[in-house]
């Protein structure tokens, strides 16, 4: 085997030459369309969001109720067993005061967003939904704070996590449905 770099016929176009306009350039915005399957568990979860419901998946072996749901328990190495309707209340597991939007653009210093992992009532702790907090000032947020989902109106829901606008502070225990 030779370590020599193979050379190919033709002339290399360098970035500098391209920038200098030495070659014909065509610019266009690609319109890329793609779709993918969200799978059995997340499909049901997203359908639940459209209906204003949160659904988790329970593994009877370890007793965990997972949200977002999974069809397979990575701890027990087995399929999960059943669907569990969850409350739309929970607790702040962790949070961040963010001055950056989801598209990485900068926010005004006086208008941060509050990003939190919400541990949903009825699901196992240490797992939860990454979402926004609202109706609360940054210095009033605390880990363990009770929160409740604020849903979009039914006709605006699309089967997406954004069907929940945000979670707001909530006084009171888990609701019974």
The only residue of 41, 67, 73, 147 in contact with Zn ion, by rule CB under 5 A: 73
Which of 112, 114, 113, 121 is closest to 91 using CA atoms? 121
Shortest distance (Å) from residue 74 CB to Zn ion: 8
Beta bridge partners of 92: 118
CB distance 63 to 75 below 8 Å: no
Q: Residue 69, exposed/middle/buried by CB under 10 A (0-12, 13-18, 19+)?
A: buried
User: Which range, of 39-47, 60-68, 87-95, 158-166, touches Zn ion by CB under 5 A?
Assistant: 60-68
| Choice between 23 and 77, CB closer to Zn ion | 77
Q: Using the rule CB under 5 A, is 116 a contact of Zn ion? A: no
Q: Using the rule CB under 5 A, is 61 a contact of Zn ion? A: yes
Shortest distance (Å) from residue 174 CB to Zn ion: 23
The only residue of 41, 49, 54, 59 in contact with Zn ion, by rule CB under 5 A: 59
User: Which range, of 7-15, 38-46, 57-65, 82-90, touches Zn ion by CB under 5 A?
Assistant: 57-65
Shortest distance (Å) from residue 129 CB to Zn ion: 20
| E runs forming strands in 20-141 | 54-58, 65-66, 72-73, 78-79, 82-86, 89-98, 113-120, 129-133
**Token pair 């009033």: residue:** 140
Which chain residues interact with Zn ion by CB under 5 A?
59, 61-62, 73, 75-76
């Amino acid at each position: 085997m030779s370590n020599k770099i193979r050379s190919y016929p033709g002339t290399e176009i360098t970035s500098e030459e391209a920038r200098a306009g030495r070659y014909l350039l065509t610019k266009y915005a690609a319109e890329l369309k793609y779709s993918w399957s969200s799978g059995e568990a997340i499909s049901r979860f997203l359908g639940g969001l459209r209906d204003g419901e949160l659904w988790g998946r329970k593994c009877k072996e370890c007793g965990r109720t997972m949200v977002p749901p999974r069809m397979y328990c990575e701890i027990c190495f087995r399929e999960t067993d059943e669907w569990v309707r969850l409350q739309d209340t929970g607790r702040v597991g962790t949070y961040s005061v963010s001055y950056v939007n989801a598209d990485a653009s900068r926010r005004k210093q006086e208008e941060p967003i509050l990003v939190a992992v919400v541990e949903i009532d009825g699901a196992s702790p240490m797992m939860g939904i990454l979402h926004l907090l609202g109706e609360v000032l940054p210095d009033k947020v605390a880990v363990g704070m009770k929160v409740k989902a604020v849903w979009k109106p039914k006709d605006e829901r699309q089967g997406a996590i954004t069907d929940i606008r945000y979670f707001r502070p909530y006084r009171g225990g888990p609701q019974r449905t």
